[in-house]
């Protein structure tokens, strides 16, 4: 801990309590964090200002797939910081071209378009789909429709919350952007029935993360892909959370054998260092955009591209994906064993799990607070559900630590 002199001129010891109090005073209250103040991180572990260590089993909603301060990512960051960080797309830089080529090779697509945040990547994909609908499919101007799924979470821009059914994320932000049609997630027949002559795309999360790591029925994505091909409609997969190794494959759509027209990537693409996102797709769709129609001051900046290239290099080895598969199988066994000890249901693939706890034990927030007391950080969602998404660099012993802490937290609440 250290002393801090604020605007009042009074010097005081910086503790978790004083830091949280100051934050509450000056920061808009759009989050409700757990009462822990993190000051350092290394691998799967973080340390608070009092020196207590916790295993980070959320890893920033998959943005830290490779752990805190991953050596390869730190090296790429520091080397690029010593050269140049930003040029804007008004000029070329020596990192963007190689990053684009390497990301396309990793994902198997022809082209990419770089942005910063996951929400920007999704917005970009929607704009590309509308352009494609007007310029290639021949939809009349301002008539394009995009089908989405209930329970979705694609970000928090006005357009993205416009087709959300999460009241907390949506209420109070109208009027809403038109042009979206929602159907039940997992119902491929309802989705096909919603397609009209004005439908240009279907936007789906292969696994709905914010909704509680909801897995669709077997064969769902393949059936949707057949429907979109039959009706000349694009399939957009939002893999901002599910992609880049989380489920044991580079892309979740790859794992289930489906090839979308566009894939949005983010979070882990920046390695927890800088915001990096992208849309990848084939030339016949990506090629519809023309200079001046879309852009970003920071999108494709040299620092982001350098970090992104290091992320791609890690994934190109296949090691993070393999570790997610191996430890994911072990995590599934541990969760199954807890179904008689307070877990009433769970959904898990790779190192990603949504765990439903008996409401009699408390809310998901209660479980996360108990986990905090046992040295593990996790996040609740939708009542009594919590999510686990530890780094893909996790070890067997660290997975055991998480599972032991979860068992102890449930026992504490029982």
pLDDT tens per residue, range 306-352: 999 999 999 999 999 999 999 999 999 999 999 989 999 999 999 99
> HSE on the CB side for 196, CA within 13 Å?
12
In a shared domain, residues 338 and 285: no
Asked, for residue 389, whether it belongs to a domain, the answer is: no
* Token pair in block for residue 257: 């054998």
Give the pLDDT band (50/70/90) at residue 6: low
Distance CA 141, CA 134 (A): 7
To the query of whether residue 4 is one of the catalytic residues in this protein, the response is no
∠333-334-337 over CA atoms, to 5°? 90
Residue 135 has pLDDT above 90, yes or no: yes
Residue 232 has pLDDT above 90, yes or no: yes
| pLDDT number for residue 14 | 85
Asked, for residue 55, whether it belongs to a domain, the answer is: no
| pLDDT number for residue 74 | 98
In a shared domain, residues 308 and 328: no
Of the three residues 316, 339, 374, the one that is the final residue of a domain is 316
Of the three residues 316, 340, 375, the one that is the final residue of a domain is 316
* Token pair in block for residue 200: 């240009």
In a shared domain, residues 167 and 239: yes
To the query of whether residue 153 is one of the catalytic residues in this protein, the response is yes
Asked, for residue 31, whether it belongs to a domain, the answer is: no
Domains identified in the chain, total number: 2
Asked, for residue 408, whether it belongs to a domain, the answer is: no
Of the three residues 316, 334, 355, the one that is the final residue of a domain is 316
| pLDDT number for residue 1 | 56
Which whole number is the average pLDDT over 372-389?
95
| Closest alpha carbon to 55 in 380, 379, 374 | 374
In a shared domain, residues 205 and 354: no
Residue 9 has pLDDT above 70, yes or no: no
| pLDDT number for residue 4 | 56
In a shared domain, residues 288 and 337: no
Which whole number is the average pLDDT over 179-207?
98
Identified catalytic residue from 238, 261, 356, 380? 238
In a shared domain, residues 281 and 199: yes
Give the pLDDT band (50/70/90) at residue 12: low
In a shared domain, residues 85 and 122: yes
Residue 235 has pLDDT above 90, yes or no: yes
Which ranges in 218-363 belong to alpha helices (H)?
220-230, 252-255, 283-286, 302-316, 319-337
Write the CATH number for 119. Answer: 3.40.640.10
Asked, for residue 371, whether it belongs to a domain, the answer is: no
Max distance between CA atoms of the chain, in angstroms, equals 69
Asked, for residue 355, whether it belongs to a domain, the answer is: yes
User: Which H/E stretch holds residue 386?
Assistant: strand 385-388
In a shared domain, residues 127 and 270: yes
Task: Provide the 3-class DSSP secondary structure of residue 238.
Answer: strand
C-alpha distances out from residue 293 to 124, 131, 163, 290, 296, Å: 11, 10, 24, 6, 11
| Closest alpha carbon to 152 in 119, 175, 120, 179 | 119
The whole-model pTM stands at: 0.95
The domain containing residue 338 runs over which residues? 319-363+395-402
| pLDDT number for residue 8 | 56
| Closest alpha carbon to 267 in 12, 42, 59, 16 | 59
Distance CA 292, CA 143 (A): 23
Identified catalytic residue from 267, 298, 356, 366? 267
Distance CA 378, CA 125 (A): 30
| pLDDT number for residue 382 | 87
Q: What is the tens place of the pLDDT at every residue in 53-88?
A: 999 999 999 999 999 999 999 999 999 999 999 999
In a shared domain, residues 172 and 276: yes
Identified catalytic residue from 99, 153, 180, 298? 153
Q: Report the chain's mean pLDDT, rounded to a whole number.
A: 96
Burial group, residue 118, by CB count within 10 angstroms (0-12, 13-18, 19+): buried
∠367-371-375 over CA atoms, to 5°? 170
In a shared domain, residues 238 and 358: no
To the query of whether residue 238 is one of the catalytic residues in this protein, the response is yes
In a shared domain, residues 222 and 341: no
Asked, for residue 369, whether it belongs to a domain, the answer is: no
Q: What is the tens place of the pLDDT at every residue in 162-177?
A: 999 999 999 999 999 9
Q: Any idea of the CA torsion for 9, 11, 14, 17, to the nearest 10 degrees?
A: -70
With beta carbons less than 8 A apart as the criterion, state whether 329 and 335 touch: no
Q: What is the tens place of the pLDDT at every residue in 274-313?
A: 999 999 999 999 999 999 999 999 999 999 999 999 999 9
In a shared domain, residues 305 and 324: no
Asked, for residue 1, whether it belongs to a domain, the answer is: no
Q: What is the tens place of the pLDDT at every residue in 88-108?
A: 999 999 999 999 999 999 999
* Strand ranges of the sheet holding 353-357, from the earlier edge strand across to the other edge: 343-348, 353-357, 385-388, 379-381
Distance CA 148, CA 198 (A): 14
């Amino acid at each position: 801990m250290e002393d801090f002199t604020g605007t009042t001129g009074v010097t005081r010891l910086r503790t978790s309590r004083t830091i949280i109090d100051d934050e509450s005073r000056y920061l808009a209250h759009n989050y409700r964090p757990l009462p822990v103040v993190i000051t350092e991180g290394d691998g799967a572990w973080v340390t608070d200002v009092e020196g207590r260590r916790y295993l980070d089993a959320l890893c920033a909603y998959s943005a830290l797939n490779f752990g805190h301060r991953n050596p390869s990512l730190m090296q790429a960051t520091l080397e690029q910081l010593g050269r140049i960080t930003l040029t804007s797309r008004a000029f070329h830089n020596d990192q963007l071209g190689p990053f684009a080529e390497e990301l396309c090779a990793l994902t198997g697509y022809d082209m990419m378009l770089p942005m910063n945040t996951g929400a920007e990547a999704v917005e970009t994909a929607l704009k590309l789909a509308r352009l494609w609908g007007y310029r290639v499919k021949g939809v009349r101007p301002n008539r394009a429709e995009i089908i989405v799924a209930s329970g979705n979470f694609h970000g928090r821009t006005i357009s993205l919350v416009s087709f959300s059914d999460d009241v907390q994320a949506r209420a109070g932000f109208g009027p809403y952007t038109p042009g979206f049609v929602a159907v039940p997630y997992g119902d491929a027949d309802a989705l096909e029935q919603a397609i009209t002559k004005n439908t240009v795309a279907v936007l789906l999360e292969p696994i709905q993360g914010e909704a509680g790591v909801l897995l669709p029925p077997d064969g769902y994505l393949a059936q949707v892909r057949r429907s979109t091909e039959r009706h000349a409609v694009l399939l957009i997969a939002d893999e901002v959370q599910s992609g880049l190794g989380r489920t044991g494959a580079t892309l979740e759509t790859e794992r289930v054998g489906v090839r979308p027209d566009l894939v949005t990537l983010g979070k882990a693409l920046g390695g927890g260092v800088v915001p990096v996102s992208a849309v990848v797709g084939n030339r016949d769709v990506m090629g519809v955009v023309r200079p001046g129609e879309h852009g970003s001051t920071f999108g494709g900046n040299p620092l982001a591209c350098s970090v992104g290239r290091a992320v791609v290099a890690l994934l190109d080895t296949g090691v993070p994906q393999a570790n997610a598969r191996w430890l994911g199988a072990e995590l599934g066994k541990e969760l199954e064993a807890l179904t008689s000890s307070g877990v009433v249901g769970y959904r898990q693939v790779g190192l990603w799990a949504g765990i439903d706890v008996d409401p009699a034990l408390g809310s998901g927030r209660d479980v996360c607070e108990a986990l905090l007391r046992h040295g593990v950080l996790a996040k609740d969602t939708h009542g009594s559900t919590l999510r686990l998404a530890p780094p893909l660099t996790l070890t067997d012993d660290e997975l055991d630590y998480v599972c032991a802490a979860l068992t102890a937290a449930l026992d504490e609440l029982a």
